[in-house]
Structure 1
């Protein structure tokens, strides 16, 4: 397995720019339903109520992404990992900033070790 090159500060800044351009978080997975988007698995800016609301009982402005729309079947994936994909997308909104901060923290520690070791 190839070891990837370390992320540069420019790459980390690029990731942060992409993140800053997204809808503010946190994001949540929601299971919704209606006649036009049957069994909608969505990523939303508000938590799931567990009620499987039907439109117009949910605000479409809260939906960031969808991983499954069964009727008509125009949002789907062959491996049927709709819930898993939605959970990943939703958690990425919170996890990516933490990962960028952790990479920077570790880079500072490595740099400090190099400076201390060179004396």
Structure 2
């Protein structure tokens, strides 16, 4: 699929299935720090406290994903947009379902308009 092709109903349903199967939201960006994951930028099911907690003062079960782990350096994107990427991923948890609902609403309006044009 390219970005120029219309999204089919099946593709929209597949995206919706993926969103529904993911860990429930909301998701938040967390900045954590510890010996094992120095400067961890993570997506979490709980909000950031602003304290940069160190292990074991945060529950690893709250972490959905990470965009930066510097030590060892194995989660680190070359463009250094880890904060921006984390914000995008965290917001996707609520934004994707909203976008799906909007697409469905607009498609329904278009179908209703088409039916009205057909009846006129």
Count of residue pairs brought into register by the alignment: 118
SS of the residue corresponding to residue 7 of structure 2 reads: coil
* Cα offsets for 1:60-84 (capped at 9, x unmatched): 0000000000111110000000000
List alignment gaps of at least 5 residues for structure 1.
none
Say if 2:65 is the partner of 1:65: yes
SS of the residue corresponding to residue 74 of structure 2 reads: coil
Q: 1:3 to 1:38 in 2, by over 3 A?
A: closer
Q: CA RMSD in A?
A: 1.2
SS of the residue corresponding to residue 35 of structure 2 reads: coil
The residue that corresponds to 1:84 in the other structure is: 84
Q: TM-score, normalised by structure 2?
A: 0.94
Q: Distance in 2 between matches of 1:3 and 1:40?
A: 33
Say if 2:9 is the partner of 1:9: yes
The residue that corresponds to 2:111 in the other structure is: 111
Greater strand content: 2
The residue that corresponds to 2:48 in the other structure is: 48
SS of the residue corresponding to residue 74 of structure 1 reads: strand
The residue that corresponds to 1:38 in the other structure is: 38
Q: Distance in 1 between matches of 2:78 and 2:85?
A: 12
**Moved beyond 3 Å, runs of 4+:** none
Bigger mean CA deviation after superposition, 29-38 or 109-118: 109-118
SS of the residue corresponding to residue 29 of structure 1 reads: strand
The residue that corresponds to 2:100 in the other structure is: 100
